[in-house]
Amino acid sequence: MKITRRSALRGFGVSISLPVLESFGRTGFSEIPLRMGFTYIPNGVIIDEWRPKETGSLGKLPESLQPLQNYTKDFQLMSGLDHTKAYANGDGGGDHARANATFLTGCQAKKTAGKDIKIGVSVDQIAADAIGDRTKLRSLELSCDGVRKSGKCDSGYSCAYQYNLSWKTESMPMVPESNPRLVFERLFGNASSPLDRKAQLKRRALNKSILDFALESAKGFNNRLSKMDQDKLDEYFSSVRELEKRIEREEKNGAQISYLHRPEGIPDNYQEHLRIMFDMMALAFQSDSTRISSFLLAHDGSNRSFRDIGVPEGHHSLSHHKNDPDKIKKLALIDRFYSEQFAYFMHKLSTMKEVDGSRLLDHCMIVFGGGISDGNRHRHSDLPVLLAGGKAHGLANGRHVDYGSVPMTNLFLALLEKFDIEAKQFGDSTGVLRGI
């Protein structure tokens, strides 16, 4: 891992929350941080309605991507990116669980309903390990699925694979938050019980000493445990240390953003829910509370219905369309719905300004895509992938490139490279995707 100019920033005692950001940018354009975000579309898309057939510069977009027509200068479309580890490879059924689990890890999920869950560290967490300590939160995981399906998940895979995108270790997912109010409070504190700065500092000092105490307890506890349980306790150790670091980072800033409006709980309407979660991601980036985020719009295999757009059927059961034109039409409507929400996000990022007047969007690289290309046949090759933003870092937007057939993880390596994070290999990658 190599860290360049950005490591210098820490020395300046860079503050994190919004109001301070004003002073932060004065040192110049180059020091505005880069962010990465991942947003996941479930159940594949009707690709002909989603991605133009021709490569080269983007003209009129197909129906499902129409909502993004105004942003063609701000994203690029990619063909020929594969997730071969999402195929069965001898493990039988369970393509939805695999698609979801492989998306950011590029690894084959171990088929188990519970014992020894294992996949691989995801790209966002590789980034978080390298640069996460520069912000209040290492990374931020979001989802619109607040509850797990009960009973069996997908064909013998634990639900953990299907409801998490981000994996901190091979066996520990970063469980996403689905309540926007709680996300907000993580970012900016609990505005309903305002503490003055002195009280906050006092509370942090106390929290640090009780965390020390708990770590001490854990050591005694650890001695009594078997190997397998010690792995469990390792999760505890690492999470407590993470929390300690976070508290330290908070001490360096700590201003609360009182003029922002705290969202209420989870909206009933799915579109509103998606949008307010996108708001949260945008706010987190804007306030530099984190530079890394992932958002599971819905878990793969989701059978959500979309009555507001005239599709009362379940998404998953529809996705097995068997070339029925009526079903294909409805699926394309759902795809378009997701594009609309993503367009909302892009709009948001492009209206938020950095201190030098440039758009926040130009300092973000956002992947919008999914782990299934054709839902009907559960294909995991030639996935739908859109990469948005990153103008300030030279991303070549406004075009559609066909890469033939290369691992999706090659793209992720390229994103890591933009962060000056040297990861030679990751998941099933074969090299850095050039020219993005």
Partner 1 sequence: MKSWFKQWTALSILGLMSPLFTLGSSGSETILFNEKVLPLLEEYCYDCHGDGAKKGDFAMDELIALGNVSKHSEKWDRIWKNIYNRNMPPANVPQPSDIEISTILSWIEDASFGHNPNYYDPAHVVLRRLNRIEYENTVQDLFGIEIDVKNYFPADDTGYGFDTIGEVLTLSPLLMEKYLGMAEIVMEETLGPIDDKSLRHRFKPNDLKGGSEQDGMRVLASKGSLSLTFISSQEGQHTVKVKATASLAGDELAKMSVAVNGKQITEFSIDAEYPNKKEYVFTFGAKPNFSNQITLTFPNDFWDPKNKDPKRRDRNLFVESVEISSPEGVPQNVIMTRMHLLGKWKTEEIGDEEAKTSFDRWLPRIYRSPLDPSQFERHISLYKKMKQKGLNTLESLRQTFKAALISPNFIFREEKKLKVNPSTQPRLLDEYALAHRMSYFLWSSVPDDELWDLATQGKLRANLREEVKRMIRNPKIDQFVKNFCGQWLQLRDLNLVNPNPAQFPTFSEEVRELMILETEKFFKHLLVENLPLELLLSADFSMINQELAKYYGVSGDFSNDFQKVVFRGEDLNQRGGLLTHGSILTITSNPTRTSPVKRGKWILDNLLAAPPRDPPPGVTELEEPNDSDFKKLTIREQMAMHSRSPTCYSCHASMDNLGYALENFNAVGKWRDHEGGKSIDVTGKLSSGEKFTGVRELQRFLKENKKQAIIRCLAQKLLIYGIGRGLNFKDRVVVDDVISIGKQEEIKLADLVFKVIQSKPFQLSQ
User: Per the structure block, which two tokens stand in for 401?
Assistant: 């490139």
136 touches partner 1 (CB under 8 A):
no
Query: Are the C-beta atoms of 284 and 349 separated by less than 8 Å?
Result: no
Site size for partner 1, by CB under 8 A? 98
Nearer to partner 1, 211 or 406 (CB): 211
Cβ closer to partner 1: 173 or 390?
173
Q: Is 109 in the site for partner 1 (CB under 8 A)?
A: no
Q: Which of 18, 68, 77, 117 binds partner 1 (CB under 8 A)?
A: 117
CA dist 336 and 49 (Å) reads 9
User: What is residue 195's DSSP assignment?
Assistant: -
Q: Which is nearer to partner 1, 217 or 405 (CB)?
A: 217
In the window 138-177, what residues touch partner 1 (CB under 8 A)?
138, 141, 145-156, 158-160, 163-164, 168, 171-177
Residue 390: exposed, middle, or buried by beta-carbon count in 10 A (0-12, 13-18, 19+)?
A: buried
CB of 300 to partner 1, least distance (A): 12
Tell me how far, at minimum, the Cβ of 251 lies from partner 1, in Å: 15
C-alpha span between 137 and 188 (Å, rounded): 11
Q: How far is the CB of 216 from partner 1 (least distance, A)?
A: 7
Residues 246-275 close enough to bind partner 1 by CB under 8 A? 246, 259, 261-262, 264-265
Beta-carbon contacts of 285 under 8 Å, excluding residues fewer than 6 positions away, are: 35, 37, 291, 293, 349, 360, 364
Q: Should residue 198 be labelled a site residue for partner 1 when binding is judged by CB under 8 A? A: no
Smallest separation, CB 140 to partner 1 (Å): 9
Closest distance between partner 1 and the C-beta of residue 5, in Å?
27
By CB under 8 A, name the one of 122, 376, 397, 429 that touches partner 1: 376
| Six token digits for residue 260 | 């922002």
Beta-sheet strands, E only, within 111-200:
140-143
Sheet with 140-143: list strands edge to edge: 56-57, 399-407, 75-82, 385-389, 364-369, 35-40, 292-296, 140-143
270-309 positions binding partner 1, by CB under 8 A? 303-305, 307
Instruction: Find the binder of partner 1 among 269, 324, 422, 425 (CB under 8 A).
Output: 324
Q: Residue 157 and residue 435: Cα distance in Å, rounded? A: 37
114 binds partner 1 (CB under 8 A): yes
Residue 109 Cβ vs partner 1, minimum distance, rounded to whole Å: 13
Residue (117 or 333) nearer to partner 1, CB: 117
Which residues lie across from 369 on neighbouring strands? 40, 385
* Binders of partner 1 in range 204-223 (CB under 8 A): 206-207, 209-211, 213-214, 216-218, 220-221
State the minimum distance, in angstroms, from the CB of residue 320 to partner 1: 4
Pairing of strands 292-296, 35-40: parallel
Selected range binding partner 1 among 6-14, 43-51, 93-101, 396-404, rule: CB under 8 A = 93-101
- Of the pair 110, 363, the CB lying nearest partner 1 is at 110
Neighbours of 302 (CB within 10 A): 20
Report the chain's C-alpha Rg in angstroms.
22
- CA pair distance 397, 378, nearest whole angstrom: 29
Minimum separation from the CB atom of position 228 to partner 1 (A): 6
By C-beta, is 211 or 355 nearer to partner 1?
211
Q: Is 194 in the site for partner 1 (CB under 8 A)?
A: yes
* Helix-, strand-, coil-residue percentages of the chain, each rounded to 5: 45, 15, 40
Q: Per CB under 8 A, which of residues 24..83 are in contact with partner 1?
A: none
- Residue 178 within binding range of partner 1, rule CB under 8 A: yes
Question: What is the distance in angstroms between the CA of the first residue and the CA of the last residue of the chain?
Answer: 21
Cβ-based nearer residue to partner 1, 52 or 314 = 314
Find the binding residues for partner 1 in span 337-366 (CB under 8 A): none
Any idea which residue has 């998606």 for tokens?
A: 274
Measured distance CA(364)–CA(352) in Å, rounded = 12
Nearer to partner 1, 10 or 152 (CB): 152
5 touches partner 1 by CB under 8 A: no
Number of other CB atoms surrounding residue 382 within 10 Å: 19
Q: Which of 239, 405, 425, 430 binds partner 1 (CB under 8 A)?
A: 239
